[in-house]
Amino acid sequence: MDARLMPKEETYAQMVWRRFRHHKLAMISLGVLIVLYSMAILAPWVTPYHYDHMDFDKISQPPSLEHWFGTDRIGADLFSRVIWGSRISLSVGFAAAGIALVLGTVIGAISGYYGGVIDDILMRFTEIVASFPTMFLLLTVIAVLPRSVMNIMIVIGATSWPGLARLVRGQFLSLREQDYVEAARAIGATNTRIVFKHILLNTMAPIIVNASLRIGGAILTESGLSFLGLGVTTPPSWGTILNGGRPLLRSAPWITTIPGIFIFVTVLAFNYVGDGLRDALDPRATK
Amino acid sequence: MSRKYIGILVVTALLFGSLLGSGALPVNAAIRIAVTIDGRPLVTDVAPEIRNGRTLVPFRAIFESLGARVEWDERTNTVRGTKGHITVTLPIGQRLAYVNGAPVNIDVAPQIISGRTMVPGRFVAETLGSTVEWNAATNTVAIRSLVEPRVGGEMVYALAGDPTTLNPLLSTDSASNFVISMIHSGLLRTNERLEIIGDLAEEWSVSADNLTLTFRIRRGVMWHDGRPLTAADIKFTYDTIMHPDYTGVRRRDFRAVREITTPDDHTLVMRLSEIDSSLLSKLFIGIIPRHIFQGHPVARLREHPNSRSPIGTGPYHFGSWLPGQQVVLNRNPNYFWAGQEPYIQRVRFRIIPDTQAQLVALEAGQIDWMGSIPVDDIERVRRTHAARLQFREVKQNGYWYIGMKQDHPIFRELRVRQALMYSLDRPGMVQTLFKGYGTVIHGDKPPVSWAHNPNLYTYPHNPAKARQLLEQAGWNRIGADGIRMNAAGQRLSFELISASGDQTRENMLNIIRNQWRAVGVDMRIELIEISVYFGKLDTGQFEIYQWGWNLGIDPDNFIFFHSTSGFNAEGVLMGFNDVGYSNPAVDRLIERGRATFNQEERRKIYWEIQEILNRDLPYVFLYNRNNIAAHVNRIRGIVWTEIGTTFFEKWFIDPATLR
Amino acid sequence: MLYLLGYIARRFSQMLILLVGISIVSFAIMHIAPGNPVDLMTDRLATAEEKARIATLYGFDQPIPVQYIRWASQVIQGNFGRSFVTGEKVLDMIAARLPATLFLNFLTLIIIYALSIPIGIISAIKQYSWFDHVVTFYAFLGQSMPQFWLALLLLFYVGLRFPFIQTAGMSSYGVTVATEGLWAVLVDRSRYLILPLTVVTFSNLASITRYMRASMLDVINQDYVRTAKAKGLAPKIVILKHAFRNALLPLVTMMGFELPILFSGSVIIETIFAWPGVGLLSWNAVMQRDYQVIMAFNLLGASMMVLGSFLADMLYLVVDPRIKYN
């Protein structure tokens, strides 16, 4: 077997990392994300107040030394709420993308590898899911089950995989005809081994890139749901805080500006990391 | 001066009185009074001041802006203004003025303040033929020089959504009801003071046994398509509602009606199976034309084309409807109320779903009227658009409350319910949540109701007393988390349910939770999708819940607090008494309240019910919220009720702005 | 050729089965979801008998499969029924709203493609140049901002500032070609279009731009382009003749997937800019359990999706002869 096809884990990872480091914006973004995630994990220790602590005498106050991000409509400290909220938003993003990643990859891979009737059935199923109105499904799920972070993650994840499944399937369709797969078959590798050892490794790049973009996408979807009053409220997600500040957009703009900036910086960072990964994982790139 | 102006005067006097009362408080000492003349602010070098409840304004500014010539007689210390054939003479320091030489007593003497001669604004303006309105919400004295209304012009009104239907029998949402109220007339209506008067009925009488109502129907009323209205149309409308296939929500309103007959075209007789004094307020419902809907299956009423392009007898007739964009109504020149033909040529309802977007449209001049300015924008809009907009406070005929299951192990103890009341700072919440535009309530009738009892106990915010009551009720141990426990080690903890999707409600519940936690009560909040929420209420699957009522103008509260309105033996909810409140004394009073048409007698009954409810506390009574409506100055002659019922037919567009 | 016809025939039959499948699934979910039209039509105090009577009138008393078959047989005859809430014919309701949605989406698509194709190409050719960085940043920015926030900011800080811009609705009352002439109508409509069009374009620009850039980079690195360059062809010609055409191909197939997007409305845009499209209509239908309207939308969405992906496959087949279909 050609050594190039089965690169040692370390060397491959090292090469990717070396290339990734060249992408300055991606590196900065990675740094930003690490800070954000650490803050989320350390929320109870870095925030001065609990997320639903409120002080009637300090309603809608602009940022100050005492309240770094100001206070909201009912006198809660926005800094504490935003940091607590990052737990929700970041984990919704991660979990939903994770669910979509698993579903999309598995379904796309099976469909693309086996083809034929299996492909037809799975692709039609994918189309059903893709065409199903997300809002309708969400409302149904949220109505039947209590509104929790878990359910929102599941719904966002379970509705956002079809694109990825198509992508993986496409990769598999073209890769399975390639010589090295034929070669692997010739030496008697089982179907499963071929699929997962060979093709999947070569499909990794677009999948990882897609997943990193999808995290940002899921965070945005959650904030869109907040607009409809379906966001996560305890603790409040960034989207919920942003939506809560909607009536004060002009009288107390910091209530919307701060969670808004957190959302777009995070999503932007994921976009850049995805961009960096795309370049780093691209087998044709010469850098 | 017509009666409506006297009405305004009375209201104004009351408001001035209340202002005077609060004027003694240091917090309100700095109230700035704005004076506008025909919508334009009156610019003065010395600010208007309130003395003895009357606004004093610099004499030169007011006379000149009303178009009067001013003279100042230094020798007699007298101000004299002349406009047309009216001359007003005001000696400084005297509570006596002269109008064309005749002496008139005034409340406050003209006086010199900060070196300026100040005169009573209302007296001067009214003497010179203007009307004066005091707007308590904005501390504005609006002076309007009297103008002759003229037919013409257009008014653009913002609606948050399309009406669902324009059939009065089927509408449930406020957008539909509002548009319908301009197209359709009812048998009865209210006047500006919320008293019941005839609309299509010229007059009515109640038999001695209170079981027969006879209505004399107005003659000469024409449908918008030119056909005459008769008693048969009214009978047809009510029969449709009582038809078993009727799919709307109004059948229960006619529960007591046994039979309706029309001895002739202009007489309608209603025979009741039981006395129901609340029935009259149900007869405001718009009448639909028999000649259009007759023969159409009742179950499919909604689908009739004229349910969406209605024909009524009201001041406006239906023009056009572009879904998601606008509904256009045109004036009905043949409106039957004598001397009340509508002036505004066209009323256009524009559909703008988002309140912030509505506000932007109002500020940008795309709409002329907005029903409710978002609380947090009121101050700013008022400041920046004072010259162009006017503001009106609309009282809510309803209230918000927290319902507690009366047989729940925690809530069945009166002292716990009292403690929950005492631990809440309800006036503070009205301030925080609504910027003060609301009223704390202590019983089941808001102040706008004629049956409101103003003497109820107010349960002032008193956490110490709340703690004491909880101790007495057995919740005397405090756990490590600060939550109380009883001797059996149970935590004072429960779950509140409410409907999701309302930011104000979420804020409100968070505040309540915080204030209860401060006295050692733990409340978890579960917000549920609204249809699921109602399902839980209607099957009793809750410990405590938060909701609000919007009420009709009749004070009958059978469905809320009568014991038979709770869950029956099979567990079916018969009314809205989902908390399971049961008090035989209240039951008897409610029954008596329904059984007489005499308002004074009923008032006494409902006052007593409120006292009992205030003691028994089936609910934690919270507050209600008032809206601030805004409209452009161009709209004149606005007549409406405190709760926002409009009398569009009397409104007009400032003739100066008409082409 | 026969081979291809067979394939198309098979796809068509699959599409039909798929549509039936989707309609069954959504019909079932809709009925399982809590809340039903009878509860919403009647008041909370309606007795069980009253509700049962209305349920019978509307056929809700039948088992769900029976209801489904009734509905489906009507749909086959082109009758989508009437809304329980408004009493209108469902098709009329959708027809009244669809033009606004199509109008906005179509214009957005044109603008997005018109912007992102050249931007993507320049970004690819001048990879890592300042142009690439700036454009990438702005594209990402639009994609990363919560749409309703962006929309509200524009509403307040642009809409209110420029009197030319109309912030709500899609046309002025009484401005029609017949009364004011074509030019006035065009000016009028564009006053309303500016804000929603800006928001939708800005938040969707990134994906196509990045896609174009990636596929362009892909092609540029291919051997034949390198060869062409090596042969001494002018860079412009290489790009226009070879790279551009080849990079455009995957984009063409993407158009198939745009079909359902063309027909879908955005609740956010329609709420904030009072745009009279289908988004709010379908959202309200879900909130009110207006079964007939929900089903019509589900079926419309599904048909467009199925048709779109069929179209994409066909285009792919035409464009890329390397893919074989079995």
Instruction: Output b/e per residue, C146-178; b: 16+ Cβ within 10 A.
Output: bbbbbbbbbbbeebbeeeebbbbbbbbbeeeee
CB-based contact B410:B391 (threshold 8 Å):
no
Residue of A nearest to B507 (CA): A74
CA C234/CA B335 separation, integer angstroms: 81
Type of residue at B99: V
- CA angle, corner A172, sides to A171 and A176, nearest 5? 125
Determine whether the interchain pair C147/A224 forms a contact, defined as Cβ–Cβ distance below 8 Å. yes
Select from B509, B544, B513, B518 the least CA-distant residue to B466.
B518
| Per-residue burial over A248-258, b = 16 or more CB atoms within 10 Å of its CB, e = otherwise | bbbbbbbbbbb
Contact B645, B182 (CB under 8 A): no
Mean pLDDT of A87-115: 91
Contact B514 A60 (CB under 8 A): no
What per-residue confidence (pLDDT) applies to B164? 92
**Exposed, middle or buried, A98 (CB in 10 Å: 0-12/13-18/19+)?**
middle
Residue pair A219/A36 in contact (Cβ under 8 Å)? The answer is: no
Interface test with C, best of A227, A230, A258, A284 (most C CBs within 10 A): A227
Euclidean distance between CA atoms B176 and B167, whole angstroms: 8
The single-letter code of the amino acid at B37 is I
Assign A235 a pLDDT band (cuts: 50, 70, 90): confident
Chain-chain contact of B428 with A56 (C-beta, under 8 angstroms):
yes
Q: Can you tell me which residue has the tokens 């081979």?
A: C3
Q: Residues A103-113: what's their mean pLDDT? A: 89
- Report residue B137 as tokens: 């919400």
Query: Helix or strand or coil: residue B646?
Result: strand
Q: Where are the alpha helices (DSSP H) in B128-193?
A: 174-183
CA B120 to chain centre: 31
Q: Give DSSP secondary structure letters for C251-272.
A: HHHHHHHHHHHHT---HHHHHH
Q: Please indicate whether residue B280 or residue C307 has the higher confidence score (pLDDT).
A: B280
| Number of alpha carbons in the 13 Å side-chain half-sphere of residue C249 | 15
Task: Output the six-digit token pair for C77.
Answer: 């005859």
Closest by CA position to C297, among listed C108, C98, C105, C104: C98
Q: How far, rounded to the nearest angstrom, does the alpha carbon of residue B429 sit from its chain's CA centroid?
A: 21
Q: How distant, in Å, are the alpha carbons of A7, A104, A158, A180, B144 from that of A177?
A: 21, 21, 30, 9, 86
| Distance to chain C for B534, nearest Cα, Å | 8
Distance separating the N- and C-terminal Cα atoms of chain C: 13
| Token pair in block for residue B290 | 């028999």
Residues in chain A: 287
pLDDT bucket at B221, cuts 50 / 70 / 90: very high
In 3D space, the residue among C81, C62, C46, C288 whose CA is nearest the CA of residue B244 turns out to be: C46
Kindly report the CA angle at B227 between B222 and B232, in degrees rounded to 5?
85
Ranges in chain C, pLDDT < 70: 1, 223-225, 234-236, 238-242, 249-250, 253, 319-326
- Tell me what pLDDT residue B49 has: 81
Alpha-carbon separation of residue A28 from A86, A213, C29, C213 (angstroms): 19, 16, 45, 22
Confidence of residue A189 (pLDDT cuts 50, 70, 90): low
Residue in C closest to A253 by C-alpha? C153
DSSP-derived secondary structure for B336-354: SSTT-----SEEEEEE---
Q: Please state, rounded to an integer, the average pLDDT across all residues of chain A.
A: 82
The structure tokens listed for B113 are: 């303040």
Beta-bridge mates of residue B326: B322, B350
Contact (Cβ atoms closer than 8 angstroms) between residue C73 and residue C79: no
Residue C253: per-residue pLDDT: 65
Query: In sequence order, what are the residues at sequence separation of 6 or more whose Cβ sits closer than 8 angstroms to the Cβ of residue B186?
Result: B199, B200, B283, B284, B285, B286, B287
Model confidence at B23: pLDDT above 60: no
Let me know: does C316 contact C249? Beta carbons within 8 Å. no
Return the pLDDT at A242: 93
> Given this model, what pLDDT does residue B26 score?
33
* Strands of the B257-264 sheet, one edge to the other: B201-206, B212-217, B267-272, B257-264
pLDDT score recorded for residue B286: 96
Question: Nearest-CA distance from B251 to chain C in Å?
Answer: 9
More confident residue, A189 or B331: B331
Of C57, C88, C93, the CB nearest to B245: C57
User: How do residues B324-376 score in pLDDT, each as one tens digit?
Assistant: 999 999 999 999 886 677 999 999 999 999 999 999 999 999 999 999 999 99
What is the mean predicted confidence (pLDDT) over B586-606? 94
How confident is the model at residue B631, as a pLDDT? 92
So what's the pLDDT on residue A7? 47
Burial class (CB in 10 A: 0-12, 13-18, 19+), B470: buried
User: Burial level of A102, CB count in 10 A (0-12/13-18/19+)?
Assistant: middle
Say whether C294 and A136 touch across the interface (CB within 8 A): yes
Is B17 a residue whose pLDDT tops 60?
no
d(CA C184, CA C163): 16
- Collect all residues of chain C within an 8 Å Cβ-Cβ radius of residue A140: 29-30, 32-33
* % pLDDT > 70, chain B: 95
Chain A / chain C CB contacts < 8 angstroms: 123
- Going by pLDDT thresholds of 50, 70 and 90, the confidence category of residue A135 is low
Q: Which residue has the tokens 């309100």?
A: B28
Closest listed residue to residue B275, CA positions, set B185, B325, B213: B213
Neighbours of A177 (CB within 10 A): 12
B528 in contact with chain A, both atoms CB, cutoff 8 A: yes
Percentage of chain A lying above the pLDDT 90 cut:
27
Q: Could you tell me which chains touch chain B, where touching means 3 or more CB pairs under 8 A?
A: A, C
Q: For position A191, what pLDDT does the model report?
A: 66
User: What pLDDT is stored for residue C240 in this prediction?
Assistant: 66
Query: Chain B within 8 Å of C282 (Cβ-Cβ)?
Result: no
* Structure-block tokens of residue C6: 């067979």
- C-alpha A166/C-alpha A186 separation (Å) is 28
Distance from CA of A127 to the nearest CA of C (A): 7
Are the CB atoms for B388 and B633 separated by under 8 Å? yes
Report the residue count for chain B.
659
A113 - beta bridge partners?
none
Q: Which residues, in sequence order, are bridge partners of residue B196?
A: B190
For the stretch B435-480, pLDDT in tens is 999 999 999 999 999 999 999 999 999 999 999 999 999 999 999 8
**pLDDT cut 90: percent of chain B above it:** 60
pLDDT score for C319: 66
Beta bridge partners of B201: B217
The two tokens of residue B306 are: 């004229």
Outline where chain A has alpha helix (H).
9-22, 24-41, 43-46, 78-114, 116-131, 134-144, 149-159, 162-175, 179-186, 191-193, 200-227, 238-244, 254-281
**HEC per residue, C152-191:** HHHHHHHHCCCCCCCCCCCCCCCCCHHHHCHHHHHHHHHH
pLDDT the model gives residue A139: 63
Please report the pLDDT score of residue B1 as a whole number: 37
Return the ∠ at Cα A33 (arms to A29 and A36), rounded to 5°. Answer: 140
Residue B298 DSSP symbol? G
Candidates B363, B497, B507: best to mutate against A (most CBs of A within 10 A) is B507
What pLDDT is attached to residue B338?
A: 65
pLDDT higher than threshold 80 for residue A75: yes
In this complex, is the C-beta atom of C87 within 8 Å of any C-beta atom belonging to chain B? yes
Do the Cβ atoms of C166 and B304 come within 8 Å? no
Q: Are B58 and B66 in contact (CB under 8 A)?
A: no
Q: Are A104 and A162 in contact (CB under 8 A)?
A: yes
C53 to B244: CB separation less than 8 angstroms, yes or no: yes
Cα(B398)–Cα(C199) distance, integer angstroms: 40
Pairwise CA distance, residues C256 & A234, whole Å: 41
Cβ contacts of B340 within 8 Å, gap of 6 or more: B315, B649, B650
pLDDT, mean over chain B: 88
Are the Cβ atoms of B531 and C35 closer than 8 angstroms? yes
Q: Which residue has the higher pLDDT, A146 or A37?
A: A37
Please state whether beta strands B484-485 and B477-478 pair in parallel, antiparallel, or not at all (unpaired): antiparallel
State how far the Cα of B502 lies from the Cα of A244, in Å rounded to an integer. 10
Q: Is the pLDDT of residue A190 over 70?
A: no
What ipTM does the predicted assembly reach? 0.89
Cα dihedral across residues B31, B35, B40, B43: positive or negative: negative
* pLDDT of res. B201: 95
Locate the DSSP E strands across B506-644. 522-528, 544-550, 619-621, 623-625, 627-632, 635-636
At residue A133, the pLDDT reads: 64
The residues in B 95-114 lying below 8 A from A, measured between CB atoms, are: none
